[in-house]
Amino acid sequence: MSALPVPSRRQEDWRYSDIEAVASVWPLPEPTAITVGEGEEAAHLLLQDAADGSVAVHDYVIDVAAGGNCIFHLLNIGGKLGRVTFRVTLGKGAHFGLHGAMIGGGTQTLEIITSVTHAEPDGTSEQVIRSILGEKAVGSYLGRIEVARHAQKTDASQSVKAMLLDRTATANAKPELEIYADDVKCAHGCAVGELDKQALFYMASRGMEPRAAQSLLLRAFVAGVFDGIADEEDRQRFESAALAKLDALAHRGDAGGEGA
C-alpha cells in the first residue's frame, strides 16, 4: 500500500489530473506488474469503461527483457477520472507498443501517462494515441522517454492526435525526451484539431446528415488504433465500445444544448 501523501498538481505527472477524485480512492493499490521474458511476446488489453461518476486508476509497471516484445491496446473512456499509467523498462532489442484511444465528454478527466526507459541498446518503442473530447472533458497524454547513455540505436516514436468537438473541451499532449545516448531516433508528433469543415461541407453536399458525417469522420480518426488486436472478438469489443461512446458524444446537446 502506498504510504505517500495524496499527490498535488505541482507534481508533473498529476498536473492535469482530478486530484479530488484521486483523493477519494487514495491510497492507490500496488501497480500491476507485467514481465516479458527474453525473446517472449506478450499482448495486453485494457478497456477502461468504469461507470459514470466513478474513479478508475490503473498503473502498470512493465519490464521487457532482451528481444522481448510487449504490445498494449488501451481504450480509456469511463469514469469521472480515468487514468492509466505505464512505467516501462526495455532491455536490449526489446519492443514496447502502446496503441491507445481516449474518448470523453461531460466533465470527464482522462489521462494516459507513460514513462518508457530504453535501458539497453537497440530497443524500440511506438506509442500511438488518439483522443476525442467533447463538452468540458479534459484528455491528457504525458509521455516521457528516457534513453540511457549506452542505449545506442534506440528508436522511439510517439504520435499523439487529439480532436476537440467543443471549444470547452481540453487536450493536453506533452512529450518529454531525456536522451543520454548520441545515436538514437526519437520521433514525436502532436496535433490538436477540430473536425475538418471542408470535409463536413463536402459530405453534406452529397446529402449526408451532419450527425452522420461527424460520426464517420470521428470513426476514421480512431480507426486503426485497434487493428493490431489479434483476437477478432476482442477487437470487435474494443471497436464497438469506442463507437458506442462516440455515438453518446454525438448526441450530446440533444437535451437542449448546441446542435451538431
- Beta-strand (E) ranges in 65-200? 69-76, 81-90, 95-104, 109-118, 124-133, 138-147, 155-164, 170-179, 185-193
Counts for the chain of helices (H) and strands (E), in that order: 4, 12
Asked if 205 is part of the footprint of other proteins (rule: CB under 8 A), the reply reads yes
Residue range at the interface with other proteins (CB under 8 A); choices 66-74, 111-119, 170-178, 218-226: 218-226
Bond from prior residue into 5 cis (ω within 30 degrees of 0): no
Any contact of residue 167 with other proteins (CB under 8 A)? no
Q: Which is nearer to other proteins, 22 or 163 (CB)?
A: 163
Per rule CB under 8 A, is residue 223 in the interface with other proteins?
Answer: yes
User: How many Cα atoms occupy the beta-carbon half-sphere of 76 within 13 Å?
Assistant: 35
Q: Work out how close the CB of 126 gets to other proteins at its nearest, in angstroms, rounded to a whole number.
A: 19
Told to check if 204 binds other proteins by CB under 8 A, we report yes
Cα–Cα nearest to 100, from 155, 154, 142: 142
For residues 123 and 223, give the distance between their C-alpha atoms in angstroms, rounded to a whole number.
27
Query: What does the angle CA 25 – CA 171 – CA 194 come to, to the nearest 5 degrees?
Result: 145
Is 212 a binding residue for other proteins by CB under 8 A? The answer is yes
Can you tell me which of 197, 233, 255, 258 binds other proteins, judged by CB under 8 A?
197
**CA distances (Å), 39 to each of 58, 67, 147, in order?**
26, 4, 21
Assess 193 for contact with other proteins (CB under 8 A). Answer: no
From 25-33, 47-55, 143-151, 204-212, span contacting other proteins (CB under 8 A): 204-212
224 lies in the binding site for other proteins (CB under 8 A): yes
The nearer residue to other proteins, 207 or 256, going by C-beta atoms, is 207
**Between 23 and 191, whose beta carbon lies closer to other proteins?**
191
**Cα 243 from chain centroid?**
16
Residue 243 interacts with other proteins (CB under 8 A): yes or no: no
- Angle between helix 197-205 and helix 210-222 axes, rounded to 10 deg: 130
Residue whose CB is less far from other proteins, 41 or 196: 196
Binding-site ranges for other proteins (CB under 8 A): 196-199, 201-210, 212, 216-217, 219-221, 223-224
